[in-house]
Amino acid sequence: MSGGITRVGVVGGGQMGAGIAEVCARAGLETVVCEVDAVAARAAQNRIVDSLDRAVQRGKLSREAADDAQARLVFTGDLDALADRQLVVEAVIENPEAKTEVFAALDKIVEDPAAILATNTSSLPIMRLGMATSRADRVVGLHFFNPVPVLPLVEVVTSLHTTAETTALVEDFATRTLGKTVIRSQDRAGFVVNALLVPYLLSAVRMAESGFAAAAAIDAGMELGCAHPMGPLKLADLIGLDTVASIAESLYDEFREPLYAPPPLLMRMVEAGLLGRKTGRGFHIYDQG
């Protein structure tokens, strides 16, 4: 891979996967987005096109650059289309079984033994995913933040098997090619950001659950009293309450600290399908139009 990474694959075209694919395409990379089927692939394409159009409307991107980025994107429902990729980033649902299945399949499909398999997991052990392959030394965490085209941070997470060469290639890719800022983390649940952020979000959920204060008051308190750009419950809604719950469960499984345990209200909301912005209702109500 002496010429650098130029061919990228992204597995999953949801909010995070679409954002990762978009920044790769905007950086001049030939990018293949793989979804579960052709219908989901078209939805991913529409998601990226809409995001690029918004960037043009806001003056953040020229129309020519947006069109060039679109031309570099291929959408498919066939995982075999990733066979020639130099880097594949997995961005499917935050579920260990689903992610492990993807890594086991990619290990057989991606032809170049030097190719890197990365995960955008928010909290799951990189080691577990690496051991589902025959190339654990080429498996790494590459955790982006939502919205990917806007937020500058990427966490690079290495397992006990990840080589220094793999780490260097991924850091160079994230910084030089994508223009992101990289911080390194040990392979511990939550990594750096979510290990700090999620207990704060769960504390806000417990405050609402107890009736101590209403959701609007909790968010206003942190926005206006602490100058946070977004209150904790609004942020949880943006992340997705199912994702927040999954991260909390991973943190609690690893550390067994009460502050990481997902509150009952959060779990009931997930069971009810009230997941935040993506479903139109979480701790707040959102316009789905």
Q: Catalytic residue positions? A: 122, 143, 155, 194
- Rounded CA gap, 42 and 37, in Å? 9
Block residue for tokens 């990474």: 5
Give a three-class secondary structure readout of the chain.
Answer: CCCCCCEEEEECCCHHHHHHHHHHHHCCCEEEEECCCHHHHHHHHHHHHHHHHHHHHCCCCCHHHHHHHHHCEEEECCHHHHCCCCEEEECCCCCHHHHHHHHHHHHHHCCCCCCEEEECCCCCCHHHHHCCCCCHHHEEEEEECCCCCCCCEEEEECCCCCCHHHHHHHHHHHHHHCCCEEEEECCCCCCCHHHHHHHHHHHHHHHHHHCCCCHHHHHHHHHHHCCCCCCHHHHHHHHCHHHHHHHHHHHHHHHCCHHHCCCHHHHHHHHCCCCEHHHCECCCECCCC
Backbone phi and psi for residue 240, each to the nearest 5 degrees, phi listed first: 110, 120
- Rounded CA gap, 127 and 143, in Å? 15
Block residue for tokens 């609007």: 216
CB 72 within 8 A of CB 23: no
- The two tokens of residue 136 are 């654990």
